[in-house]
Amino acid sequence: MTLVMKFGGTSVGSAEAMRQTADIIEQFKKEWGSTVVIASAMGSKPVKVTDLLLNGSKAALAGDMDEVTQLLPKLRTIHFDAIEELIPAGDKQTALKEEIDQYLTYFHNICQAISFLREISPRASDAIGGMGEQMSIRILAAYMSERGTPTEAIDATELIVTDDNFTNATPLIDETNAQTMARLKPLIEQGITPIVTGFIGATTDGITTTLGRGGSDYSAAIIGRAIEAAEVWIWTDVDGVMSTDPRIVPDAQTIPELTYLEVSELAFYGAQVLHPRTMRPVMQLGIPLRIKNTFNPDSPGTVIVKERELKAGNIRAVTGIRELSMISVEGRGMLGVHGVAARAFKSVAESEASVLLISQSSSEQSICFVVQQKNSADVVQRLETEFADEIKVRNIDCIAANENVAILTVVGSGMQGVPGVSGRFLGALGDSSISVMAIAQGSSECSISVVVAEDQVSAGIQAIHKMILEQ
Ligand code: ADP
Ligand code: ASP
Ligand code: MG
C-alpha cells in the first residue's frame, strides 16, 4: 500500500524541519510499505522562497535588477545553511551546492531578460516560481539518502501533464495518470522513495507550468489519484483543519473529521490550510485525505472523508476572504431588460475574473457579485460597455464597485435543512454591529456566505467563532 505525503513550506523550511520531516517519512514508509513524498519550496515563515523568487521577477519587470542581485545571497543562504547542516562537507555537499547555484544563475538570467524587455510572460513567471520546489526536493532527497533511505528527486514536470494555462494550470488526467504510473511504479517496487516537487507540472511540450499559489496540496492529490494511493496526507504547521484561522482566533480548535464537501467550501472561501482544488482528484477515487502537523506528529489531525455522522444545525468552521470587490448592476428598468444576468456574467467571463458569490434581489432591480479587487476596474469597464444602451435610456442607473469588502463564510453539513441557522449566524454578526451587504447560500446547503466591509471581517470571524464554541 502506498501512502502519499505532502510536506508544506515550513516542514522543509530549515535543516531542523527537514530532519523532522525525514523522521516522519521513514516511520510511515516502514508502516505502510511505500511512500511517495511531495514537497513545497522552503518557507520558514514569514520568508517563503516562492515569494522571494516571484518578488524578484516583479522587481526585474520594474527594471530594478539591484533588488534581484540583493535577493541572490538571501536565497543562497537559505538553501546553503540547510545543506551545510544536513550533508557532511565533501563531494556530495559541493555537488548539491553547485546544483542550487545553477538554479540561482538561471533565476538571475531570466530576471535579466525580463528587465531588458520590461515584460514578463506567464510562462517566465512559472519557470521562476517553480524553482523553489526544484531546489528544496534536491536537498531533502540528498539528506534522506545520506541517512540511508533510498530516494530519488523528481521534477513533477515528468509526471503532471497540464494545459497551457500558465500560473494556474489544470492537469490532463489520462496523460498525467499514465506518465506518473510509468515513472513512479518501478521506483516504488524497488523500495525507492520518490521525492517530487509540489506546485509544478508541464505542458505536453514540456514547458513548466504551475498549479496556482499554494498548489502543492493539489499536486499531492493529483499524484495520489494517479497511483491510486491508499491515503493522501498533508503535513503542515498546524494540527489539522481548524474551526477558523488560528492567526485570527488563537483558541481555534482542530476539527477531527470533515467531509470532502465541507473542506472544499472552506478552502474555496479562504482557509489557506488546503488549496481549493485539492479535493477533486481524491474525491473521484474516494481516497481519504488527512491533514497533520509535522511539528506535533502524534496529534491525530483532521481526516477528510466522503460522509460523516452529522449533528443537526452545527456550524463547524468560519472563514474569511479579503481584498475583494462587490460589483452591483442596478436600475428600476432592469425588470424589462432581456437577459441582464447572462450578459453581465458573459462580460465578467471575458475579463477572466472569477466570481466568488452572486446575489440578486427578487424584484430584479439589482444583481451583485463579488470578484477579486485586482479585477474590479476591468469588470466595471466591460459592464459599462456591454450595457451602454441601457445606461443611456436609464433602464440601468448604475454599475458600481464597492471596494474593500470581504466574504465571511460558515461551513457545516449539519446546517442542511435546519431552520434558524442563518438567523443565529446573522444575529451574532448584528450583535457585534457588523452590517451585512449581501448574503448567499451554497446550493449544497453546507455553507452560508455574507459580504461585509473588509475592516470588519476579523471581528466577524471572532464573533462567529465564539458562537461555534458555545453551540
Ligand atoms: P503549508 O506551507 O504547510 O502548505 P500554509 O501556510 O499554506 O502551509 O497553510 C497552513 C496555514 O493555514 C496555517 O499555518 C494557518 O495559519 C492557516 N489557516 C488558515 N485557516 C485555517 C484553518 N481553518 N485551519 C487551519 N489552518 C488555517
Ligand atoms: N510554493 C508554492 C507557493 O508558495 C506552492 C505551495 O507552497 O503549495 O505557492
Ligand atoms: Mg499551503
Dump pLDDT digits (tens) for 284-317: 999 999 999 999 999 999 999 988 777 777 899 9
CB atoms within 10 A of CB 471: 13
pLDDT at 7 over 80: yes
Report pTM.
0.95
Assign 362 a pLDDT band (cuts: 50, 70, 90): low
Atom of ligand 1 nearest to the CA of 242: 24
How many whole angstroms separate alpha carbon 260 and alpha carbon 95?
A: 43
Q: Which of 184-188, 330-334, 425-429 has the lowest mean pLDDT?
A: 330-334
CA distance 101 to 379: 43
What atom of ligand 2 comes closest to residue 218's alpha carbon? 8
The CATH number fitting domain 317-470, selected from 3.50.30.30, 3.20.20.150, 3.30.2130.10, 3.20.180.10? 3.30.2130.10
Residue from 236, 199, 196 nearest 9 by CA: 236
Average pLDDT, rounded, for the chain? 94
The pLDDT of residue 33 is 97
Which pLDDT band holds residue 364 (cuts at 50, 70, 90)?
A: low
**Strand, coil or helix: 389:** helix
pLDDT at 441: 85
Cell 536565497: give the residue.
Answer: 75
Confidence band for 366, pLDDT divided at 50, 70 and 90:
confident
Does 471 score more than 90 pLDDT?
Answer: no
**pLDDT interval class at 430 (50, 70, 90):** very high
Cell digits of residue 331: 436600475
Cβ burial, residue 111 (10 Å; 0-12/13-18/19+): buried
**CA–CA gap between residue 374 and residue 54 (Å, rounded):** 17
Question: Once rounded to an integer, what is the mean pLDDT over residues 38-67?
Answer: 96
Residue intervals in the chain for CATH 3.40.1160.10: 2-237
Percent pLDDT > 90 in the chain is: 86
Give yes or no for residue 443 having a pLDDT over 70.
no
> Quick one: average pLDDT of 8-16?
98
pLDDT at residue number 314: 84
Closest ligand 1 atom to the C-alpha of 234?
Answer: 3
Nearest residue to 100 (alpha-carbon basis) of 148, 147, 132, 63? 132
- Predicted pLDDT at 45: 79
- CATH 3.30.2130.10-classified regions of the chain: 317-470
CATH topology of domain 2-237: Carbamate kinase (3.40.1160)
Evaluate whether 152 touches 195 at the Cβ level (below 8 Å): yes
pLDDT, residue 414, reads 82
Ligand nearest to the Cα of 292, by number: 1
Q: Using the mean position of ligand 3's atoms as its centre, give its distance from the Cα of residue 214 in Å.
A: 4
Pocket residue to mutate for ligand 2, from 199, 209, 291, 294, most atoms within 8 A of Cβ: 199
What single string gives the DSSP state of each residue in 323-337?
EEEEEEEE-GGGGGS
In the block, which residue shows the cell 466591460? 382
**Grid cell in block for residue 354:** 472569477
Q: Give the residue, out of 44, 48, 168, with the most ligand 2 atoms within 8 A of its beta carbon, to mutate for a pocket test.
A: 48
Closest CA to 287 of 219, 212, 232: 232
